[in-house]
Amino acid sequence: MNLFKLLADLSRVDPDVYGRFDGRRQVFRYLGGAGKTLAGAALPTLVSGLFQRAYGQTTALPADVAAVLNLALSLEYLEQYFYDGAIGSTLFGSLSAADQAAFRTIRADEAAHVTVLRAALGTAAIADPGPTAFDFTAGGQIVPFANATNFLSLAQAFEDTGVRAYKGGAATLLNNKDLLTAAFNIHSVEARHASHIRTLRRGGVQAVGGAVSTVPNSSFSDRPKSWISGRDNGGPVPALTAIVYGPGTTTAVLAEDNTVQLTIDTITNTTNAGGLGQTSAAATEAFDEPLDARQVRNIGLRFVPASNPAKLFIQ
pLDDT digits (tens, 9 = 90+) for 257-290: 998 887 888 888 766 555 556 788 888 888 888 8
Answer with the residue of higher pLDDT: 5 or 169: 5
217 Cβ partners below 8 Å, 6+ apart? 223
Read off the pTM: 0.81
Burial of 269 (0-12, 13-18, 19+ CB in 10 A): middle
- The whole-angstrom separation of Cα 300 and Cα 74 is 8
Which of these ranges, 51-65, 91-105, 192-206, has the smallest mean pLDDT? 51-65
Task: Write the Ramachandran bin of 220: left for phi over 0, alpha for psi from -120 to 50, otherwise beta.
Answer: alpha
Query: What does the pLDDT look like over 16-48, one tens digit per residue?
Result: 776 666 554 544 554 544 444 454 555 556 666
**Amino acid identity, position 129:** P
When pLDDT is averaged across residues 211-240 and rounded to a whole number, the result is 70
Per the prediction, the chain carries an average pLDDT of 78
Task: With cut-offs at 50, 70 and 90, classify the pLDDT of residue 89.
Answer: very high
Partner residues linked to 260 by β-bridges: 265
Residue type, 24: R
Which range among 112-121, 161-170, 224-233 shows the weakest confidence by mean pLDDT? 161-170
Look at residues 176, 299, 306 and name the one whose alpha carbon lies nearest to residue 244: 299
CA dihedral sign of residues 282, 283, 287, 288: negative
Average pLDDT over residues 37-60: 60
Please determine, for residue 145, whether its predicted confidence score (pLDDT) is greater than 60.
yes
Maximum mean pLDDT: which of 59-68, 71-80, 159-168: 71-80
Which pLDDT does position 35 carry in this prediction?
44
CA distance 193 to 56: 33
Range among 22-26, 49-53, 193-197 rated most confident = 193-197
Domain boundaries, the chain: 3-301
pLDDT more than 70, % of the chain = 68
